[in-house]
Amino acid sequence: MYPAACTYSSQNRARGSGWLCRASVIVGIFLAFLFPLCLCSGCAPQGGDDGPGPDDGATGPGTVAGRVLDGLSPTDAVAGADLYVYMPVHTEGVGTRQEDLGGPVAQAVSGEDGSFSLPDIPAGDCVLRVRPPSTARMGVIRLAVDVAPEETQDVTVNMLPLALLERIRTVRITPTEAVDLSAGDTQQFAAYAFDEADEPVLDDGSDLIRATWSCTSAIGAIDGEGRFTAGSEGGVGLVRATFGERSESALVRVTGSGDGGPDGGDNRAPSITSVQLSPYDTVAPGSSCFVDVLADDPDGDVLTYEFEADGGVLYPTYFDGMAEWVAPGGTSASGARQSTGVPYTITCSVSDGAASDTETVTVYVSDDASNSPPVIEDVYATQLTAEPGDLVEFSCVASDIDGDPLGFIWEAEANEIRADPDYPQYASWYAPGAEGAYWVRCTVRDGRGGEDQLQGDIEVSTSAGEDAGGGVGVVVEGSRAR
């Protein structure tokens, strides 16, 4: 049997269509440089007279509003935080899917009391990124926001120190089991962050740190303390707790005040409209491809996606209804590739909590001797000499003669280097507290077995002073894998 990672599920609204820079002037690259995201949940709306939930007859844009607070001292507002809203767009191919998010559809800066408002947001799934002011040693937070037509999603963003966020490896939320509620019911949720040793991540006062809460707008609303109030519409959705860029969710089923609900007799089954493999349906041993499921639900129910495979390993992605499949691979005693020419079946299922639909797709594993590997042309950094704690931002410019979509992997000798999830050719890294030279490495892969790699050093010194700036777009010189 293959590992448990070969099966996974995710939830989100039914999707009628899927969603999954290189720059000559590097200054422009880093001004647009952002971090952020989570999976498939949404933020809570403000309820009207009929309780929280969207108006089924509304079709106009919505608003995302709220406050940015200090997560360790919630009475203190965070002023000057940059907020951006992005709308993911589906295109063919995995590489373009990530790059075609485009610029923000709305942006704002939090006021002195931490308040913000982002109006005229198209209804549907979007990404809210919150970046702290440059003077604050806080980490970026990003949320998936489910914008309801002509509604205001109220979000309380709890910013946390970067030092705490870097320690977080897993997030747990309670209750752990699916919660069944009726319209108007309330449920208190709690979230906990754990480090690599599976110990709770606490603040300096040995208190639990505060999460940022959000939920699927169709099922209700949740406040900044994790208190959820079920709406009147009914349905299945998610309550999500986010710490920086790590999150966990809980499934909530709400029986509406009208007829039916997620398990009601009037429920109509969802259907899978397409299953796509990208960028190829044939991959090299040990390489990967993406499985993208598009589904429709006539009732507009929130859907749960599940993936299984009879070989290889499946991994979740940022996008709902999408999984990454890594092919088996290796070399036999004779030196021949294993698994070459073997077909594998991936089973994709979608459920609305009461009914489901299932489709399969076949992916083939085969050597492709004609593939040309990608080439890293340059890796840029905002500075090559930094003081301890300085933020250094990187950009990798790479090409592939075959036109293959490229994946970027960033590694650093000390401290975590974070790639932008939507634009993975960009990454940022905070210089360690100890002086010395620290290597940073970028690996570019084409998904067909080809790769290139460049590694260079960043010098950390307390006497860097004015030399620490280095200018935007400094080329990182280093050793290559090829």
Spatial CA neighbour of 359 closest among 345, 372, 373, 370: 345
List pLDDT tens digits, range 253-272: 888 765 444 444 578 888 99
Cβ partners under 8 Å of residue 322, min gap 6: 18, 20, 290, 291, 292, 293
Domain boundaries along the sequence of the chain: 34-255, 271-365, 375-480
Q: Do domains 271-365 and 375-480 have the same CATH topology?
A: yes
* Residue 473: partners with Cβ closer than 8 Å, 6 or more residues away: 26, 27, 380, 382
For 6, list phi and psi in degrees, rounded to 5: -75, 0
Per the DSSP assignment, residues forming a β-bridge with 159 are 70
- Cβ(439)–Cβ(410) under 8 Å? no
CATH number of this structure's domain 34-255, picked from the four choices 3.30.200.20, 2.30.30.90, 2.60.40.10, 3.40.50.150: 2.60.40.10
- Is a pLDDT exceeding 50 seen at residue 50? no
Three-state DSSP at 218 gives: helix
* pLDDT (tens digit per residue) in 313-341: 888 775 778 888 888 875 444 444 444 56
Q: What is the DSSP letter of 138?
A: B
Confidence bin at 35 (pLDDT 50/70/90): very low
Q: What is the spatial distance between Cα 249 and Cα 255, in angstroms, rounded to a whole number?
A: 19
Q: Output the six-digit token pair for 385.
A: 């000499």
State whether residue 11 is helix, strand or coil.
Answer: strand
Q: Flag whether pLDDT at 427 surpasses 50.
A: yes
Helix (H) or strand (E) holding 216: none
- Decide if 307 contacts 321 (C-beta within 8 A): no
Percent over 70 (pLDDT), the chain: 74
- From the list 369, 374, 459, the residue with the least C-alpha distance to 409 is 374
Overall average pLDDT of the 375-397 stretch: 88
Name the residue type at position 367: D
Q: Residue 479 class from Cβ within 10 Å (0-12 exposed, 13-18 middle, 19+ buried)?
A: exposed
Mean pLDDT of the chain: 76
- The DSSP output letter for 5 is G
- Give whole-number Cα distances, 193 to 76, 119, 367, 448, in Å: 22, 32, 42, 36
What is the CATH number assigned to the segment(s) 375-480?
2.60.40.10
Q: Per-residue DSSP letters for 356-383?
A: EEEEEEEEEE---TTPPPPEEEEEEES-
Write the pLDDT tens digit of every residue in 10-19.
Answer: 554 444 333 3
CA 412 to CA 12: how far, in whole Å?
Answer: 34
pLDDT > 90 in the chain, percent: 16
Quick check: 477 pLDDT over 70?
no
pLDDT of residue 89: 53
Note the pLDDT of residue 229. Answer: 92
pLDDT digits (tens, 9 = 90+) for 161-171: 888 888 888 88
What distance in Å separates the CA atoms of residue 139 and residue 118, rounded to the nearest whole number? 21
For residues 107 and 85, the answer to whether their CB atoms sit within 8 Å is yes
Tens digit of each residue's pLDDT (9 = 90 or more) over 389-417: 888 989 999 888 878 888 899 999 988 89
CA triple 467-468-469, angle to 5 deg: 95
**Nearest by Cα to 216 from 355, 117, 320:** 320
Name which residue leads in pLDDT, 359 or 423. 359
CATH number given to 271-365: 2.60.40.10
- Selection from 40-44, 309-313, 422-426 with the highest mean pLDDT: 309-313
Q: How confident is the model at residue 464 (pLDDT cuts 50, 70, 90)?
A: low
Confidence of residue 286 (pLDDT cuts 50, 70, 90): confident
Span 98-112, average pLDDT: 73
Tally Cβ neighbours within 10 Å of residue 131. Answer: 20
What is the pLDDT at residue 480? 53
Q: What is the pLDDT of residues 216-256, one digit of tens each?
A: 777 888 988 899 999 887 788 888 889 988 888 888 888 87
User: Which residues share a beta bridge with 212?
Assistant: 242
Angle at 400 between CA 399 and CA 404, to 5 degrees: 125
Is there a cis peptide before residue 3, judged by omega within 30 degrees of 0?
Answer: no
**Using CA atoms, how far apart are residues 390 and 81, in angstroms rounded to an integer?**
18
Who's near 199: CB < 8 A, 6+ residues apart? none
Amino acid 478: pLDDT: 55
User: Is cis: bond before 52, omega within 30 of 0?
Assistant: no
Specify the DSSP class assigned to residue 17.
Answer: S
